[in-house]
Amino acid sequence: MARIRANGIDMAYEAFGPRDGVPLLLIHGFIQQLIAWPEEFIDGLAKAGLRVICFDNRDVGLTQKWDGQIPDPAAVITAVRAGRKPEVPYFLSDMAADAAGLLDALRIDSAHICGVSMGGMIAQLVALEHPEKARSLIAIFSTTSDAGLPPSSTEAHLALTTPSPAHDRASVIAHTLKGRRAYASTAFAIDEEKAAAVIERAYGRCYYPEGALRHWAAILAATPRGERLKALKLPALVLHGSADTLLPSAHGRQLAECISGAQYHEIAGWGHDMPLSVIPLLHGFMLPFVEKVEAVRKGAAT
C-alpha cells in the first residue's frame, strides 16, 4: 500500500500489473476499503496486461477522514425534495475529483474508469466532469439515481444502512455477513469463511463507522445523472445481475439506455456482490471491451 497527495487530500492506493500496462482505475462502493476487491478479480485483470489501480475513497480505510462532520440524513432528503442544495460534508462529485486527482498525481493521462455500486456513480461523474481522464466507463451494479427506478427491497436497504449493534470485532463480522445475505447472488455461492476473513482484515486495517454517515449523505444528495449521460460520448460497459435486490436490474438497464452505444450484460442469478465464481464472467466482458476500446484509440492515433 502506498500513500499520495491527490486533489488536496491524503489518499491510500495500490497498483498491480505491468507499469506500462493499459491503466484501469477501480472505484469501490459504499464504505468499502480497497482490500475488499477480490484478489482473483484484480489478478485476472493484471495478468491480462492491465495496470490496475485501486484506492480507499475519502472517509474509508487509510485515506483522509472528515472527523466530526455529522450530516443529518433526514435534512438532506428534505432539502433534495424541496429542490435545495443539501448541507453535506462533500458530494459524489468531490469523490470523482479525488479519483481524477489520483490519476493526475500518478501522472496517468487517462484510464478506463470502473466503479461498483456507489463507485459506479462516482465513475459516471469522472466521465462527465473529468472527460479527459476517462478512456471508457465500466459500471458494475450501479445506477443513475434517476427518479422512478425501483427501490431496494426493505431487507436489502436495512442490511446496508443499519449499523452494527456492537463494535467489537466478532460482532461487526457477524453483522456484516448477515447483512450481505440480504442482497447476495442466488446463482453464485459466497465463500463465507473467506468473506469473514476479508471483513476481519478490514476491521483491523481501519474500522471507521462514522464515515458511513457521510458516504450515505453523499448518495442521498446525489443529483440524478440520466439526462447528463445522454450527452456522454464515451465507450461504456454496464454489468448488472438479475438477482440484485439492492439496486434491481432495471437500474443497470436504464443506465445503459442513457449512454449512446453502451454495452449491457445482465447476469442471471447475480446479486449485489462479487462471488469468486462470477469473476470469470466479469473478466469475459471487461477484457474484450477494454481491448476493443484500446484498438480504436490506437487506430485513431495513426
Distance CA 281, CA 238 (A): 13
Helix axes 73-81, 210-220, angle to 10 degrees: 10
Average pLDDT, the chain: 96
According to DSSP, the β-strands at 111-116 and 134-140 are: parallel
Among 3.30.565.10, 3.30.200.20, 3.90.950.10, 3.40.50.1820, name the CATH number for the domain at 2-301.
3.40.50.1820
**222, 88 Cβ separation under 8 angstroms:** no
Residue 299: pLDDT band with limits 50, 70, 90: confident
The string over 76-91, giving b where at least 16 C-beta atoms fall within 10 Å of a residue's C-beta and e elsewhere, is beebeeeeeebebbbb
For the chain, domain boundaries: 2-301
CB proximity list for 6: less than 8 A, separation 6 or greater: 98, 101, 102, 104, 105
**92, 122 Cβ separation under 8 angstroms:** yes
pLDDT surpassing 80 at residue 302: no
Over residues 172-185, the pLDDT tens digits come to 999 999 999 999 99
Give pLDDT, residue 301.
Answer: 73
Burial class (CB in 10 A: 0-12, 13-18, 19+), 71: buried
Over residues 134-162, the pLDDT tens digits come to 999 999 999 999 999 999 999 999 999 99
Give the residue-averaged pLDDT of 292-296: 96
Distance CA 169, CA 182 (A): 21
Over residues 205-228, the pLDDT tens digits come to 999 999 999 999 999 999 999 999
Reading the block at residue 23, the C-alpha cell is 491503466
Distance CA 218, CA 29 (A): 12
Cell 489518499 appears where? 11
Over residues 35-80, the pLDDT tens digits come to 999 999 999 999 999 999 999 999 999 999 999 999 999 999 999 9
**115, 123 Cβ separation under 8 angstroms:** yes
